[in-house]
Structure 1
Amino acid sequence: MSRVPAVRLAGGLEVRRVLNGMWQVSGAHGAVDAHKAVEAMQAYVDAGLTTFDMADIYGPAEEIFGRFNSQRKSSGKDTAVQSLTKYVPRPEPMNRKVVEKALRRSMTRMQVDRLDCVQFHWWDYKDKRYLDALGHLSDLQQEGLIQELALTNFDTQRLEEITSRGIRISSNQVQYSLIDQRPAAKMEKFCLAHDIQLLTYGTLAGGLLSERYLGKAEPQSRAELYTASLSKYKNVINSWGGWSLFQDLLVALETAARRHDCSVASVATRYVLDRPAVGGVIVGCRLGVAGAGQHIADSLRSCSPDLKLTAEDHAAIAAVTQRSRDLMALIGDCGDEYRS
């Protein structure tokens, strides 16, 4: 097994700095063969990529992890595997019974005795019941049902509000990439001051940040943007600066990739891994879909200690990104794209 670097969260859980994202099995990226998906997970673990990120709203993701976890235990394999899930409730009264029921449902699906990490998401900041939910989650953490209490897509203002109430937050999962650098505006500074790790997604723009799109005509049809990720991040690119500027970025990344004998994806991932407060990058897994081997190799290369981006690399990248639009001004802070 390869040695993949880890980061220790506030509650003691060690997660790999490249995490396996399971949004891709939600159904929004095409049909999923659960049996093949379960089988495919072992290749990631064998490579040292032992941390899986999922959610209670990602279709069968928790059940797929649960089947894998059960098979792993029954086979006697003792490699430690970390499972991070998200609790994404509908707006309703957030009493202790409701919160605990949701967590126990995830535990049953995932076939675990306690949850390594619960990342809480809330849709509407005007509905202050998210503070009730977090209070109960904190209590359940003290009682041992959860090891790490974390957030997903909360902005800096709400992060400060929550921590000021004495609720210990281990991490916040946010969008962060060469295209979307909003966390650098405010959130990184706050997280560094409060020992909160950023776990980032969208770092490869759903696969658009790769050689595959270098020199290619702008994809526009549904057939070309055939997954939820491709469609989502193509919209981000449109807001950021458009396809022509994106091509300039790919040229800069490809030049750096050739210099370091790696892929564009590895350079894009390494760039975000090197950012302050970033504990790990979540790379989506097309479990059971052909081509996963290359994705694993790219992930391992991105966190290899001998991949070090140079001042020349950073200057070439900055020469492109400084010509982009300010997404903080256009969209708002991290997670604001999910709220009206």
Structure 2
Amino acid sequence: MAQVPKVRLAGGLEICRILNGMWQVSGAHGPIDPRKAVQAMDSYVNAGLTSFDMADIYGPAEEIYGQFYNQLKTRSGDTPPVQGLTKWVPRPGPMNRKVVENAIQHSLSRMQVDTLDCVQFHWWDYSDKRYLEALGHLSDMQQEGIIRELSLTNFDTKRLEEITGKGIRISSNQVQYSLIDRRPAALMEKFCLDHGIQLLTYGTLGGGLLSERYLGRVEPKGRAELYTASLGKYKNMIDAWGGWSLFQELLAALDTVAKRNSCSIASVATRYILDQPAVGGVIVGCRLGVPGAEHIGDSLRSFDLELRPQDLSDIEKVLKRSRDLMSLIGDCGDEYRG
């Protein structure tokens, strides 16, 4: 197993600085064979990439993880050396202790574990203050040892400050962060640094758009060309950021940097975000069980890469001409709340 850099969260859990994202088994990226997906997880763990990110709403993701976890446990007879970070994304409604317990028990059962390594809580509507009630119960369950790390997903800085002000310890906040979307640097970053909160980032590769595959390519349009949920989502971000022409300039700059460093555009894009203050880890989506969809080598290369002043200068020359997404969209997660 390779030596992959790790980061320790507030409650003591160590996770890899690159996490395996399981949104891509949700069904929004094409069909997935659960049996093949379970088998494919071995190659990530054998490469040292032992941290998996999922959610209760990602189709069979928790069940796939649970089957894999149980297989590892059966093989070794010991606690498997993997970390399962899940999310609870409740619908609006009562948030009493029983509701919270039922949700957590559902994840425990699907993931076949006695304790959840990390629960990342998402909330759709800030005007409904029951998110504080839910987090209070989750915090109690953390004290009881049912949850190791209590974290958030797509919360903005204002609400993060409110929650920590209530005495609730938050380990991490999962937010979109990439060369295209640099909103976390505006407000979130400083607050997290001041309060010992890690940022776990997604969208860092733009659903695959930040790659050689799209360098020099005519702008993709429509569902036939933007054929996964990720491609459609991040193409919209590119449109808001500066459009396809400027994006091509960014890809060209990244390609120059990549060739200079004997790596891929994906490795450069990942390293750039790993180097940002407060970023604990980057989540790289994996289409488990789909031949040719593994990007383990690019992920591992990111750890060896050191972006030098000339590399950063080449990238920043393009970035400074892009639009400010903070003023267009709002703080982290605001795109999910209208």
State the TM-score, normalizing by the size of structure 1: 0.98
Q: For residues 300 and 44 of structure 2, what CA distance do their matches in structure 1 show?
A: 10
Partner of 1:226: 227
Structure 1 residues without counterparts, runs of 5 or longer: none
Q: For residues 197 and 18 of structure 1, what CA distance do their matches in structure 2 show?
A: 13
1:218 is displaced (CA, Å) by 0.4
Q: For residues 225 and 35 of structure 2, what CA distance do their matches in structure 1 show?
A: 27
1:292 is displaced (CA, Å) by 3.5
Q: Does 116-125 or 307-316 show the bigger shift?
A: 307-316
Partner of 1:49: 49
Q: For residues 82 and 66 of structure 1, what CA distance do their matches in structure 2 show?
A: 11
Alignment of 1:140-179 (within 5 A): 140-179=141-180
Q: For residues 298 and 2 of structure 1, what CA distance do their matches in structure 2 show?
A: 14
State the TM-score, normalizing by the size of structure 2: 0.99
Alignment of 1:144-293 (within 5 A): 144-293=145-294
State the secondary structure of the residue aligned to 2:225.
coil
Which residue identity is paired with 1:60?
A: P
State the secondary structure of the residue aligned to 2:105.
helix
Partner of 1:315: 313
Which residue identity is paired with 2:315?
A: I
Which residue identity is paired with 1:43?
A: S
1:72 is displaced (CA, Å) by 1.1
Partner of 2:298: 298
Which residue identity is paired with 2:31?
A: A
Q: For residues 81 and 37 of structure 2, what CA distance do their matches in structure 1 show?
A: 19
Q: For residues 203 and 290 of structure 1, what CA distance do their matches in structure 2 show?
A: 22
Number of aligned residues: 337
Q: For residues 167 and 52 of structure 2, what CA distance do their matches in structure 1 show?
A: 28
Alignment of 1:89-100 (within 5 A): 89-100=90-101
Partner of 2:334: 336
State the secondary structure of the residue aligned to 1:320.
helix
State the secondary structure of the residue aligned to 1:251.
helix
Structure 2 residues without counterparts, runs of 5 or longer: none
Q: Does 124-133 or 284-293 show the bigger shift?
A: 284-293
Are the counterparts in 2 of residues 9 and 148 from structure 1 also a CA contact under 8 Å?
Answer: yes
1:183 is displaced (CA, Å) by 0.2
Partner of 1:15: 15
Q: For residues 121 and 239 of structure 2, what CA distance do their matches in structure 1 show?
A: 29
Q: For residues 182 and 334 of structure 1, what CA distance do their matches in structure 2 show?
A: 6
Which residue identity is paired with 2:140?
A: D
Runs of 4+ with deviation above 4 angstroms: none
State the secondary structure of the residue aligned to 1:286.
coil
Cα distance change of structure 1 residues 99 and 322 upon mapping to structure 2, 3 Å threshold: same
Are the counterparts in 2 of residues 18 and 303 from structure 1 also a CA contact under 8 Å?
Answer: no
Q: For residues 303 and 282 of structure 2, what CA distance do their matches in structure 1 show?
A: 10
Q: For residues 181 and 292 of structure 2, what CA distance do their matches in structure 1 show?
A: 26
Q: For residues 34 and 77 of structure 2, what CA distance do their matches in structure 1 show?
A: 21
1:303 is displaced (CA, Å) by 1.6
Q: For residues 24 and 87 of structure 1, what CA distance do their matches in structure 2 show?
A: 17
Partner of 2:28: 28
State the secondary structure of the residue aligned to 1:245.
helix
Q: For residues 167 and 60 of structure 1, what CA distance do their matches in structure 2 show?
A: 30
CA deviation map 1:272-309 (0-9, x unaligned): 0000000000000010111244x0000001122xx100
Q: For residues 224 and 310 of structure 1, what CA distance do their matches in structure 2 show?
A: 35
1:217 is displaced (CA, Å) by 0.4
State the secondary structure of the residue aligned to 2:266.
helix
1:221 is displaced (CA, Å) by 2.3
Q: For residues 115 and 233 of structure 2, what CA distance do their matches in structure 1 show?
A: 33
Q: Does 77-86 or 23-32 show the bigger shift?
A: 77-86
State the secondary structure of the residue aligned to 2:222.
coil
1:223 is displaced (CA, Å) by 1.5
1:77 is displaced (CA, Å) by 7.0
Which residue identity is paired with 2:186?
A: A
CA deviation map 1:172-214 (0-9, x unaligned): 0000000000000000000000000000000000000000000
Q: For residues 188 and 82 of structure 2, what CA distance do their matches in structure 1 show?
A: 29
